[in-house]
Amino acid sequence: MLQLVLFNVTNGLIIGAFYVLMALGLSLILNLSNVINFAHGNFLALGGYMAYVLTPYIGFWGALLVSPILTAIFGFVIERLMIRHLYARDPVYSLLLTFGLAFIMQDACRYIWGPNGLSTTIPDAMAAPLSADLFFITWYRIFMVAIVIAAVVGLFAFLRYTRVGIRIRAGTLDLDTVAALGVNVGMLRTLNFAAGSLLAGLAGVLAAGQLGLNPNMGDDLLMPSFIAIIVGGVGSLTGTLVGGLLIGVAAALTTVFWPAASEAVIYVIMLVVLIVRPRGLMGEEGTLI
Amino acid sequence: MSAATTAVAVPAEPGRRWLTAIIVWALLLTVPIWLSMMGGYTALAGRVLVLGLAAMSFNLLLGFTGFMSFGHAAYFGLGAYGAGLVLKYVAASTPLAILAGVLLGGLAGTLFGLLIVRRRGVYFAMVTVAFGQIAFYVAYSWNDLTGGYDGLRGFSRAPLNLGFTTIDIANSDKAFYYFLLAVFGIAVGLQGLLLASPFGRTLLAIRENERRARFLGIPIERHVWLSFSISCAFTALAGALYALLNNFADPMGLHYSLSGEIVIMAVMGGMRAFWGPLVGAAVFVVVQDYISSWTVNWMFFVGLIFVLVVLFFPRGILGMLQRSSGK
C-alpha cells in the first residue's frame, strides 16, 4: 500500500512539475501582457520535437540546453511579428491569434514529424531505477524534478535580482508608469514572452524523455495549467506555483483511492476555490478583475 | 475599450438595417433553390444556420455586452446532449428534445454565470474555458449515459406533429431546413427584440463604459449574469438543433476548439453588426468544408484563417462594409 501511495505521489509530482513549468510561463505572459497564450502547449511540443531532432547531433545534454533557447527565439519572433500589434486592441484578438497559432503549430508538427508518438533517447544511466523496490523512481525522474526546481528558483531569482526581471515585475503592477520612466516596454514584453516560451521549451524537452512526443502533447497540459493559475490566484506567480503543485498532487492522491476521479478532482478544486475564495489562493485583494 | 473600437459601435441607420435584414432573409428563404443549382447540399446550409445561431447567441455577450467567453461550446454541446438524450431515452418528440437541450445548456450557463460575473477581460475568458472543459470532461467520461468518446448515437429526430398535420422533418431535407429556419427566425427575432429593449440598451452601456454604467446605478453583475445566461440558453438551442441535424452528439461539440471557432465566426463576420456572426459562420463553414475536402491538414488552414482575420480584418466583413459606406 505504501508503495502504491509512493508510486502515485511520485507520478503526481512529475505531472505537477510539468503543470508548474507550463503555468509559470503562461502566467508570466498573462500578468505583463494580458495575453492568454493558447499556443503555449504547442510551444512545449516544439521544444520537445527540437530535442528529438537535435539529440543525434549534440546529445541529450546539448539538446536540453539548446532546444529551450530555440523555443524562446521562436517565441521572440512570434511576439515581434504578430502579438505585439494587438496589445492596443480588444483582448479578444490576441486570444484568437494564439488560438489560430495553436492550430497551425499542431498541424505543422503532425505534417513534419507524423501523427504517431515518437520518443527521444535519454542516457542509459538515467533510465535505470533507483532500486528494485522503487522501480518507478528512475534517475531521470529525479533529475527532471531537480531541473524544474532549478528553473523555478532561476525564474524567481531572475525576476528579483536582474534589471529586466525587476522591470517585468514593475510592469505587471503598473505598465504606464514603467513606460513613463523611460523603459522600452515593447522590448520588455517581447523578452517576457520569450522567457515564458523558454519555460515551455524546457518542459517540452523533459516531457519528450518522460511522456514521449506527439503533436498534441501540450493539449493535455494546457487546461490544468489554466486551472493552476485560477486556483493560485491571477497575478501571483507564487500562487501559480502553489496551484500547479496542489492540483498535481491532489490528482495523484485521488488516483490511489479512486482512479476514475483523478481528473475530476482538478475541476472540483477549481470550483471550490472559485466559490470559497474567488480571488484564488494567493491572489491579491482587489485584483478580482 | 479603445477609441478605435467604440467608433464602429454606432448602430447603422434604420434604412440600412432593414436592407441588410431583407437581403439576409431573402437569401436564407431561397437556399434550397439556389444552393441546389450551385451543386451544394442542404445539410451545409443547415450547418451554417445552426452555427450562425450559435455565433449570434455568443455575440450577445461578446459584441453587445463586451464580455469574451471562450467556453461557449460547452453550452452548445450540452444542448446537443440534452436533445439527444431525450430523443433516445424519453420520448420521440422533437419539441421536447429542443426544450430539454435549451434547459440543460441554459441552466448550466446560469449556474456557472454566478461564479464568473465579477471577472473581466482575459480572466473571464480563462475561467469560461476551464468551465467549458468541465462539461467536456463529464460528457467524455460518463460513458454509460453519453457514449463517451464515440458520442451519443441511436436517436433520430421525430416528425413534427402539429395536431392538424404532420411535417416530416425526419426524412425530407427541405422540410427540415425550413424547420431549422423557422426556429432560427424565432430565436434571432427574440434576440433582436432583446437588444432593442431597455435591457439590451443597458448591456450596450455596460460594454461602452462599465464604470459610468455602475455610477448610474445599473446593477452590473446582475446584467452580465443575465446576459451570459440568455446567451448560453440560445447557444444551447443551436446545439439542440445541431443534434437534430446530425442525429448525433459527440464530445468534440463541447471542446474548446469549437468555442474558439464560434468566437472567430463572430469576429470574422463583424461582432458589432447584428448579422455579422451569421455571415462569419457562413464563410467559415463553407471554407472549412472546402479545405477539408482537399487536404487532411485542414487545421493548418483554419488556424491561418484565425491569424489572417485577426491581423488584417479585425472589423470583420460587415464591419468593413458598414465603415466603408458609412463615412
ipTM of the complex: 0.86
Domains along chain B?
Answer: 3-326 (1.10.3470)
Q: For residue A151, tell me if it sits in a domain.
A: yes
The amino acid that residue B59 corresponds to is N
Specify whether the CB–CB gap between B155 and B247 falls below 8 A.
Answer: yes
Closest CA to B184 of B113, B254, B268, B281: B281
Quote the domain boundaries for residue A210: 25-219
Residues of B in contact with A96 (CB under 8 A): 260, 263-264, 267, 306, 309-310
B297 to chain A, any CB pair closer than 8 A? The answer is: yes
Q: For residue A247, tell me if it sits in a domain.
A: no
Report the percentage of chain B scoring pLDDT > 90.
46
Top pLDDT among B91 and B5 is at B91
Residue A119 has pLDDT above 70, yes or no: yes
Cell 469549437 belongs to B258
**Is residue A31 classed exposed, middle or buried when 0-12, 13-18 and 19+ CB atoms within 10 A define those classes?**
buried
Taking an 8 Å cut-off on Cβ atoms, the answer to whether A230 and B126 are in contact is: yes
Q: For residue A9, tell me if it sits in a domain.
A: no
Top pLDDT among B192 and A289 is at B192
Question: How far apart, in whole angstroms, are the C-alpha atoms of residue B159 and residue A283?
Answer: 54
Cell output for B86: 431525450
Question: How far apart, in whole angstroms, are the C-alpha atoms of residue A20 and residue A34?
Answer: 19
Specify whether the CB–CB gap between B118 and A278 falls below 8 A.
Answer: yes
The amino acid that residue B226 corresponds to is L
Residue B17 has pLDDT above 80, yes or no: no
Taking an 8 Å cut-off on Cβ atoms, the answer to whether A234 and B68 are in contact is: no
Question: How far apart, in whole angstroms, are the C-alpha atoms of residue B201 and residue B193?
Answer: 11
pLDDT tier, B77 (very low <50, low <70, confident <90, very high otherwise): very high
Q: For residue A202, tell me if it sits in a domain.
A: yes
Residues of A in contact with B311 (CB under 8 A): 82, 85, 97
Q: For residue A99, tell me if it sits in a domain.
A: yes
Top pLDDT among B324 and A278 is at A278
pLDDT for B264: 92
The mean pLDDT of A263-289, rounded to a whole number, is 78
pLDDT for B37: 65
DSSP state of B71: -
Residue B325 has pLDDT above 90, yes or no: no
Specify whether the CB–CB gap between A233 and A96 falls below 8 A.
Answer: no
* Model confidence pLDDT, tens digit, residues B211-221: 899 899 999 99
Residues of A in contact with B115 (CB under 8 A): 271, 274-275, 278
Which residue from B115, B263, B300 is facing A92, i.e. has the nearest CB? B263
The distance of A138 to chain B (nearest Cα, Å) reads 31
Q: For residue A244, tell me if it sits in a domain.
A: no
Cell 496542489 belongs to A246
Top pLDDT among B161 and B45 is at B45
Tell me the backbone φ, ψ of residue B249, rounded to 5 degrees. -135, 130
Neighbours of A239 (CB within 10 A): 24
* Model confidence pLDDT, tens digit, residues A12-59: 788 888 889 999 999 999 999 989 999 999 999 999 999 999 988 988
**Is residue A160 classed exposed, middle or buried when 0-12, 13-18 and 19+ CB atoms within 10 A define those classes?**
exposed
The mean pLDDT of B94-118, rounded to a whole number, is 92
A111-125, B7-21, B309-323: least confident range? B7-21
User: How many domains are contained in chain A?
Assistant: 1
The distance of A60 to chain B (nearest Cα, Å) reads 31
Write the DSSP string, B86-137.
Answer: IIIII-S-HHHHHHHHHHHHHHHHHHHHHHHTT--HHHHHHHHHHHHHHHHH
The chain A residue lying nearest B131, using CA atoms, is: A267
Residues of B in contact with A99 (CB under 8 A): 260, 263-264, 303, 306
pTM: 0.89
Top pLDDT among B110 and A91 is at B110
Which residue from A104, A271, A289 is facing B119, i.e. has the nearest CB? A289
pLDDT tier, B35 (very low <50, low <70, confident <90, very high otherwise): confident
Question: How far apart, in whole angstroms, are the C-alpha atoms of residue A220 and residue A18?
Answer: 11
Taking an 8 Å cut-off on Cβ atoms, the answer to whether B297 and A111 are in contact is: yes
Cell output for A150: 532549478
Taking an 8 Å cut-off on Cβ atoms, the answer to whether B306 and A99 are in contact is: yes
SS3 state at B267? helix
B300 to chain A, any CB pair closer than 8 A? The answer is: yes
pLDDT for B33: 73
pLDDT tier, A289 (very low <50, low <70, confident <90, very high otherwise): very low
A-facing residues of B in 208-227 (CB < 8 A) are none
A158 to chain B, any CB pair closer than 8 A? The answer is: no
Q: For residue A224, tell me if it sits in a domain.
A: no
* Model confidence pLDDT, tens digit, residues B280-293: 999 999 898 888 88
pLDDT for B103: 96
Taking an 8 Å cut-off on Cβ atoms, the answer to whether B126 and A223 are in contact is: no
